[in-house]
């Protein structure tokens, strides 16, 4: 069953609240198994089981107006973004493992690496944030480049650098694709024009405004 179809058809959505099925859905995240999902409503986040012909409530988390969340690659973590706060949950026990603050409220994408040892987030106001899931702490400081509008991010498979991310978006109304290499402390930039053929080191992180992350 398609969860989006079920959310739009109240008769398929069984909830304990009388009017829960009529509240708008702000965000949705599917567990990699396909049998488990999270849906963000204006008053809370609902964890649901995906059954053959219905969605059934399992538990609720008290997060209001959650516009972004995602399960990790292997499914053991759930990250929920609520304004300037983000929360890391254990997907199976729903224990809150960590609560942190960021400097942006305009996040556009969340990505996990292949081994679920870290995740990253980017925003439309140029904010980049990476988090170490092994030690449950931020990986360095968040960085901000106000001229950039970041729209999506993924982790690259690099055995020497598990925090390497590719980020796409725009800068001064021109498309960009950047690779951030944590270990070498370089920002690698690709631009689709004759002046910047291929991928070249452009500048160090020290040239970008650094924002101390708060936890």
Residue 1 has pLDDT above 80, yes or no: no
Q: Which of 101, 134, 167 is the last residue of a domain?
A: 101
* Per-residue confidence band for 9, with pLDDT thresholds at 50, 70 and 90: low
Q: How far is CA 102 from CA 6, 12, 81, 179, 196, in A?
A: 33, 37, 10, 21, 32
119 and 97 within one domain: no
pLDDT tens, 43-84?
999 999 999 888 899 999 999 999 999 999 999 999 999 988
Question: pLDDT tens digit string along 77-125?
Answer: 999 999 889 999 999 999 999 999 887 878 999 999 999 999 999 999 8
Among 3-17, 38-52, 65-79, 199-213, the minimum mean pLDDT is found in 199-213
For residues 139 and 131, the answer to whether their CB atoms sit within 8 Å is yes
- Looking at the structure of the chain, the number of domains it has is 2
Which of 101, 127, 146 is at the close of a domain? 101
Domain check: are 10 and 20 in the same one? Answer: yes
């Amino acid at each position: 069953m398609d969860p989006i179809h079920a959310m739009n058809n109240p008769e398929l959505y069984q909830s304990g609240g009388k009017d829960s099925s009529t509240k708008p859905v702000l965000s949705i995240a599917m567990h990699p198994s396909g049998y488990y999902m999270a849906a963000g409503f204006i008053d809370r986040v609902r964890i649901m089981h995906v059954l053959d012909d219905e969605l059934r409530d399992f538990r609720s988390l008290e997060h209001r107006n959650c516009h972004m969340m995602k399960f990790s690659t292997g499914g053991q973590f759930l990250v929920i973004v609520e304004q300037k706060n983000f929360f890391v949950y254990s997907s199976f026990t729903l224990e809150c493992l960590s609560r942190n603050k960021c400097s942006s409220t305009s996040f556009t994408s969340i990505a996990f690496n292949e081994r679920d040892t870290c995740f990253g987030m980017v925003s439309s106001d140029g904010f980049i944030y990476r988090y170490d899931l092994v030690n449950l702490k931020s990986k360095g400081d968040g960085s901000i480049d106000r001229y950039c509008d970041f729209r999506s991010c993924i982790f690259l498979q690099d055995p020497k650098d598990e925090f390497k991310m590719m980020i796409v978006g725009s800068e001064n109304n021109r498309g960009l694709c950047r690779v951030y290499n944590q270990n070498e402390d370089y920002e690698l930039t690709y631009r689709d024009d004759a002046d910047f053929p291929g991928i070249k080191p452009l500048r160090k992180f020290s040239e970008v405004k650094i924002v101390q992350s708060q936890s």
